[in-house]
C-alpha cells in the first residue's frame, strides 16, 4: 500500500479503509468497517473497531481503544451504530471512546482539533465540538454535549445528558451533574459557577468590553438571588446584546438538567 506504514505485527482487516500516509504501530488492531483518513498515526497496542471513521491527521497513542461497544446494558452486537471522529485530534494513551446507541441516535461525534489526554473516556452518544481539551482521566457519561473550546480538568466526571457550554472550564476533580454555562468557570463536588472563564476569553481574543458585559450577565444570573425567569428578564434590560450574550441566554433558556448553581 503506497505511503502506508504498517508494522509487521499489526493486524489490519481487509475490509478496513486505510488512506495514504497512515502509520500503524506494533501490535495494533484495525478491524473491519474502520476508516482512517490521510496521515493518521496509530501507536502501538491500539484497538480501533466498530463502524468508526477517523479524519485526517489524527494521532492515536499507545493502548487507546476507539470504537469499542458502548457500556450500556441495552446494547446489542447487532445494533447499527457509529463513531465519527474529525480531523487533527490527539488521542493519548489508554483513552476509550464508544460509538452511539440505537436509543441515543446511533452515533458518537467528535469534531476537530481536540486533545484527549491519557485515560479519558467518552461514552456513547456524546457530541464533542472543536478545540476541546479533556485533561487526564476526565470522563464523559452517555449523551453529554461539549460545545466548542470547552475544557475539563483532570479526574473530573460529567453526568449523563449534561451540556457544557462554549469556552467553559471545569476544575480538576469536579463532578458536574447539571449543565455548565458557556464562558463559565465551575469547580467543586458538585460543580458550581465560580466566575467567568476570564483567561479563556482573553486567549480567545474577546475584547475587554465583551468580558465586562459577560461578567455583568453572570452577576445577574448567578449572584443576584433572582429566579431564572426574573434574572433573564433583568439581564435583557441591563446588558448590551451581543452574539455571546444571546448564546448565553439561549443556553440558559434551553437547559433540561438545570444549571450549575
Fold exhibited by the domain 5-201: UDP N-Acetylglucosamine Acyltransferase; domain 1 (2.160.10)
Which residue ranges make up each domain of the chain?
5-201, 206-253
Task: Name the nearest CA neighbour of 78 among 103, 109, 54, 102.
Answer: 102
pLDDT value, residue 261: 84
What's the grid cell of residue 45?
497496542
Chain mean pLDDT for the chain: 97
The one catalytic residue in 43, 142, 153, 171 is: 142
Residue 36 has pLDDT above 90, yes or no: yes
Contacts of 52 (CB under 8 A, 6+ apart): 33, 34, 35, 66, 67, 82, 83, 84, 85, 99
Average pLDDT over residues 45-53: 98
Domain 206-253 homologous superfamily, CATH: Udp N-acetylglucosamine O-acyltransferase, C-terminal domain (1.20.1180.10)
Residue 231 has pLDDT above 90, yes or no: yes
The one catalytic residue in 45, 121, 124, 143 is: 124
pLDDT tens digits, one per residue of 130-165: 999 999 999 999 999 999 999 999 999 999 999 999
pTM: 0.96
To the nearest whole percent, how much of the chain has pLDDT over 70? 99
| CA separation for the pair 59, 3 (Å, rounded) | 17
| CA separation for the pair 25, 253 (Å, rounded) | 48
Is 187 a known active-site residue?
Answer: no
Residue 82's DSSP bridge partners are 51, 107
What's the grid cell of residue 184?
463559565
The one catalytic residue in 45, 50, 100, 125 is: 125
pLDDT value, residue 99: 98
Task: Name the nearest CA neighbour of 25 among 43, 52, 8, 41.
Answer: 43
Is 125 a known active-site residue?
Answer: yes
Amino acid at each position: 500500500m503506497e505511503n502506508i506504514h504498517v508494522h509487521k505485527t499489526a493486524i489490519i482487516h481487509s475490509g478496513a479503509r486505510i488512506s495514504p500516509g497512515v502509520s500503524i504501530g506494533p501490535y495494533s488492531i484495525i478491524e473491519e468497517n474502520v476508516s482512517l483518513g490521510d496521515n493518521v498515526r496509530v501507536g502501538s497496542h491500539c484497538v480501533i473497531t466498530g463502524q468508526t471513521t477517523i479524519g485526517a491527521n489524527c494521532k492515536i497513542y499507545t493502548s487507546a481503544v476507539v470504537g469499542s461497544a458502548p457500556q450500556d446494558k441495552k446494547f446489542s452486537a447487532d445494533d447499527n451504530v457509529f463513531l465519527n471522529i474529525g480531523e487533527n485530534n490527539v488521542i493519548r494513551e489508554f483513552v476509550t471512546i464508544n460509538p452511539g446507541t440505537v436509543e441515543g441516535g446511533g452515533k458518537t461525534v467528535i469534531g476537530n482539533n481536540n486533545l484527549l489526554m491519557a485515560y479519558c473516556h467518552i461514552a456513547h452518544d456524546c457530541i464533542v465540538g472543536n478545540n476541546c481539551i479533556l485533561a487526564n482521566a476526565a470522563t464523559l457519561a452517555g449523551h453529554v454535549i461539549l460545545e466548542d473550546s470547552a475544557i475539563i480538568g483532570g479526574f473530573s466526571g460529567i453526568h449523563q445528558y449534561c451540556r457544557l457550554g462554549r469556552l467553559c472550564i471545569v476544575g480538576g476533580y469536579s463532578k458536574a451533574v447539571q449543565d455548565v454555562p458557556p464562558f463559565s468557570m465551575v469547580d467543586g463536588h458538585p460543580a458550581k459557577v465560580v466566575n467567568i472563564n476570564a483567561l479563556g476569553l482573553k486567549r480567545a481574543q474577546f475584547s475587554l468590553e465583551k468580558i465586562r458585559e459577560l461578567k455583568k450577565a453572570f452577576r445577574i444570573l448567578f449572584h443576584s438571588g433572582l429566579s431564572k425567569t426574573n434574572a433573564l428578564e433583568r439581564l435583557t434590560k441591563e446588558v448590551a446584546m451581543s452574539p455571546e450574550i444571546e448564546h448565553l441566554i439561549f443556553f440558559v433558556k434551553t437547559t433540561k438538567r438545570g444549571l450549575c448553581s
